[in-house]
Structure 1
Amino acid sequence: MFGDGLATSAASLFGGPPNTTYSEVTGAVMLTKNFNPKVMMWTAIIAIALAFIAKMGAGLQTIPVPVMGGIMILLFGSIAVVGLNALVKSGDDLTAPRNLSIVALILVCGIGGMQIGGSQFSLEGVSLCAILGIVLNLVLPKAEPEKV
């Protein structure tokens, strides 16, 4: 996180757009259980080479689409599990009606590809789910503390 913040600050100092962190790395690390920084460094070097050396990028395109689809299903599924694991570890009771409703609606809208809007403006994906989660958190009543 700190490195991401530094990179975004450096990009803005030079007039560039802010950087975006993608969760695919989190999913890949969780699948492989390889947390070694040297592996991450070499992976970054290979990714940069793939971006600038066309023949290397063309090699990736030889992987059949169904194989890449299977990899993506596993990768994005693991990202969802990492997020759910964080919710469980936070100590929140996901079986409580309020929490269950919030998490279920966010997941269904995100996975189901829900879209709100028209041709000029639309909300979908992460932006729609984030707004939905915030609104549900503000609107749904919190459980009354049990009196003993």
Structure 2
Amino acid sequence: MKETTEQDYGDEYRAVQTFREEIGNAKKVIDTLSTYPDSVFRLMPQLDEPTATEESKARVHTQLAEQAKKRDETIKLLEDKYFPLFASNPEFAAYKSSIEAVIVQSRTQTFLTRDNVFTFGAECKKITSGIFRDQKKLLDKMKAIKKAHVPTTTTA
């Protein structure tokens, strides 16, 4: 079996590669945040059903609390890990304010209408689509670095 070794393209390449992976992870976290309104939208009508018992209402309240907890954990991850990442890269700093806006929406809107849920999802999609485009640009940058890389030879 032939052993393969990965070529080292330098610090700039590794930095771009790492950043590209991290913003991809941020994109996944934003996708997670976008599921919260739909969960609320599905659960809230169950509270108003004429046949709803106190027990079923308690279950719905528990599920709503669980969803809010997941949302809050997702927000904390965005704030603690990804805000500094975007802030440290001025070219991508605009994502921080866009994400802050959807965080505020996720905490303040009631999501009782399909339009509210759709609008929130569209805002999240706009952010993740932008990240996807930027990931492609970063991949192109990585390819350019690879292409320009001149391997160093060592003599023994």
TM-score (norm 2): 0.30
Q: Which fold has the larger relative contact order, with Cα–Cα distance below 8 Å and residues 6 or more apart in sequence?
A: 2
Larger radius of gyration: 2
TM-score (norm 1): 0.31
Higher relative strand content: 1
Higher relative helix content: 2
